[in-house]
Structure 1
Amino acid sequence: MKDPRALKATQALMTSADETEASFYDAMRHGDVDKVMACWAEDEEIACVSPGGPRTVGTVAVRAAFAATLATGPVHITIEHVRRMETAVCAVHHVTEKVQAMTTEGLQTAFVIATNVYLRTPQGWRMVAHHASAGMPQDLPDITEPHSTLH
Structure 2
Amino acid sequence: MSPADLVAALEEANAEFYAAFEAGDLDRMAALWADGPYAPSVTCVHPGWPMLRGRDEVLRSWALIMANTSYIQFVLTNVEADIHGDQAVVTCSENILTADEDTEAGFLAGGEVVATNIFVRADGAWRLLLHHGSPILNTAEEE
**TM score, norm. by length of structure 2:** 0.78
Does residue 117 of structure 2 align to residue 116 of structure 1? yes
Does residue 96 of structure 2 align to residue 95 of structure 1? no
RMSD of aligned C-alpha atoms? 1.9
Question: How far 1:106 moved relative to its partner?
Answer: 4.3
- Gaps of at least 5 residues in structure 2 are 1-7
Work out the CA distance in 1 between the residues paired with 2:81 and 2:118.
Answer: 10
Work out the CA distance in 2 between the residues paired with 1:29 and 1:81.
Answer: 19
Q: Name whichever structure is richer in helix by fraction.
A: 2
Is 2:72–2:99's contact at 8 Å kept on the other side of the alignment?
no
Pairing partner for 1:25 from 8, 18, 22: 18
Matched positions, count: 124
Q: Percent identity?
A: 29
Q: CA distance change for structure 1 residues 68 and 77 in 2, over 3 Å: closer, same or farther?
A: same
Q: CA distance change for structure 1 residues 79 and 114 in 2, over 3 Å: closer, same or farther?
A: same
Q: CA distance change for structure 1 residues 67 and 123 in 2, over 3 Å: closer, same or farther?
A: farther
* Partner residue, 2:34: 41
Cα displacement string for residues 90-123 of structure 1 (whole angstroms, at most 9, x for unaligned residues): 1111110011112544422111111000011115
- The correspondence of residues 76-87 of structure 1 with structure 2, limited to 5 A, is 76-87=73-84
Work out the CA distance in 1 between the residues paired with 2:136 and 2:59.
Answer: 24
**TM score, norm. by length of structure 1:** 0.74
